[in-house]
Amino acid sequence: MKRQRATVIVEIDGQILLVQNRGGLLLLPGGGIGAHETRLEAAARELAEETRLGAESLLFLFSHESSTHCHNVFWAAAAGTPVAGDDAMALDFYDQRQPDLTFSKMSQATREIIERFLAIQASLPPAFAGAGTTTPLVKR
């Protein structure tokens, strides 16, 4: 049985927030769902642990099967300034206007989830788009 994972999509200025793991791969924020927590609780916890962002709203989008995990994918409106947290070595962004800059550094599952999200994005609730008060990350 594949491990259940909460995976979170956060958009800042039209770009999707990514975390770099210890192996150098870029992933969407997320992680394992604890035995006594819901998918929603895990998504909020993992987002805070990895990016220091607080989830103001979370919308479940879809489940995605990868080779090792069952990703429960959420779209988040978040507050705060993203900062690399516990498991994140650094933060980066996926910009669909310049996909080649980060696409090759992403895990296969992350690429697939982002492609699926972009395909359904236009059909998502417009009130949710742009929600939150997230401050853009300043790269140094």
Question: Tell me, what's the pLDDT at 94?
Answer: 92
How many other β-carbons are positioned within 10 Å of the β-carbon of residue 139? 8
CA distances from residue 30 to 4, 55, 110, 127 in whole angstroms, order as listed? 11, 12, 11, 24
pLDDT of 32 over the 50 cut? yes
Question: Tell me, what's the pLDDT at 134?
Answer: 47
How many other β-carbons are positioned within 10 Å of the β-carbon of residue 38? 12
Give the tens place of pLDDT for each residue, 36-55. Answer: 999 999 999 999 999 999 99
Give the tens place of pLDDT for each residue, 54-101. Answer: 999 999 999 999 989 999 999 999 889 999 997 889 999 998 888 776
Among candidate residues 24, 28, 32, the one with its CA nearest the CA of residue 9: 28
| Residue 17 in tokens | 């927030």
**Whole-angstrom distance, CA of residue 100 vs CA of residue 128:** 27
Report residue 126's pLDDT band, with 50, 70 and 90 as the boundaries.
Answer: low
φ/ψ of 8, rounded to 5, equals -125, 130
Question: Tell me, what's the pLDDT at 93?
Answer: 92
Domain boundaries, the chain: 3-123
Question: Tell me, what's the pLDDT at 9?
Answer: 96
Question: Tell me, what's the pLDDT at 7?
Answer: 98
Per-residue b/e over 124-134, b at no fewer than 16 CB within 10 Å? eeeeeeebbeb
Question: Tell me, what's the pLDDT at 129?
Answer: 53
The fold of the 3-123 domain, in CATH, is: Nucleoside Triphosphate Pyrophosphohydrolase (3.90.79)
